[in-house]
Amino acid sequence: MTTLYHYIHCPFCVRVRMAFGFLKLSYSSEVLGYDNEKKPIELTGIKMLPIVAFSDITLNESLAIIKKADKENSLHMESLESQGKDLDELLAQLAGPIHNLVMPYWVYTQEFNDESRAYFLEKKEKKRGPFNKLMSKAPEFLGQLSPLLEELESKINPYLYDQKNLTIMDIMLASHLWGLYVLPEFQFSPRLHNYLQGIKKTCSFNYHEDYWR
């Protein structure tokens, strides 16, 4: 049985879960505490998730995992060659304001206990500053995000860069946007909400399912 080691909140982990759901791939889910350094280092030599232990190899890079799993190229991985650079730039622009907005909420979900919460806070606040300061600057981050999401809508028709097929690029985008659902004061536009919910349905994705089952 293929085993996925992951965090619930992590967009790169969500990316793999969405892809596995789309591919209808059965797997065993192992949700790790964020402070668990031992298991990922034991598996791959580095604390980086997601990790997937296939029958013949263990991988810890999300796109390599998906490429390995997608034996029939159902997600059109070749689309990354023509549009991947544009997508990487878009995700880089989105990542800053999204993570500044949602991390202070992620850390108080039931995914974290006292120990993993303290570990997460230490690591992330060292990079981004105190979470209470991030929360006070939420209007600024929302202001940065708004024009990016407006531009993004023009690229969806009905999928990202594609009029017919859901591709790996839709999963890459959706997994990063998904975190915004945790933010009480944020609402997606109807078009983006419908786009994300369509991907959720197509990928049989349930954000908390792997944690609660």
Is a pLDDT exceeding 90 seen at residue 31? yes
Convert 17-43 into a string of H (helix), E (strand) and C (coil). Answer: HHHHHHHCCCCEEEECCCCCCHHHHHH
**Same domain (yes/no): 161, 185:** yes
Q: Are residues 23 and 70 in the same domain?
A: yes
**Average pLDDT score, the chain:** 94
Q: Over the range 14-28, which residues count as b (16 or more CB within 10 Å of their CB) and which as e?
A: bbbbbbbbbbebebe
Percent of the chain with pLDDT over 90: 87
pLDDT value of residue 27: 94
Amino acid code (one letter) for 42:
E
Check whether 55 has a pLDDT greater than 70: yes
- Print the domain residue range for 35: 3-74
Stretch 136-152: mean pLDDT, rounded? 95
Instruction: State the CATH number of the domain containing residue 45.
Output: 3.40.30.10
Q: Which residues, 6 or more positions from 129, have their beta carbon under 8 angstroms from its beta carbon?
A: none
**Alpha carbons 50 and 65: distance in angstroms, whole number:** 9
In a domain, 111, yes or no: yes
Where residue 212 falls among pLDDT bands split at 50, 70, 90? low
Q: What pLDDT sits at residue 185?
A: 85
The Cα 155–Cα 32 span in angstroms is 35
Per-residue pLDDT, averaged over 113-130, amounts to 97
* In contact, 210 and 30? CB cutoff 8 Å: no
Say which CATH number the domain at 192 has.
1.20.1050.10
Instruction: Tell whether 153 and 183 lie within a shared domain.
Output: yes
Assess whether pLDDT exceeds 80 at residue 210.
no
Q: How far apart are the first and last CA of the chain?
A: 17
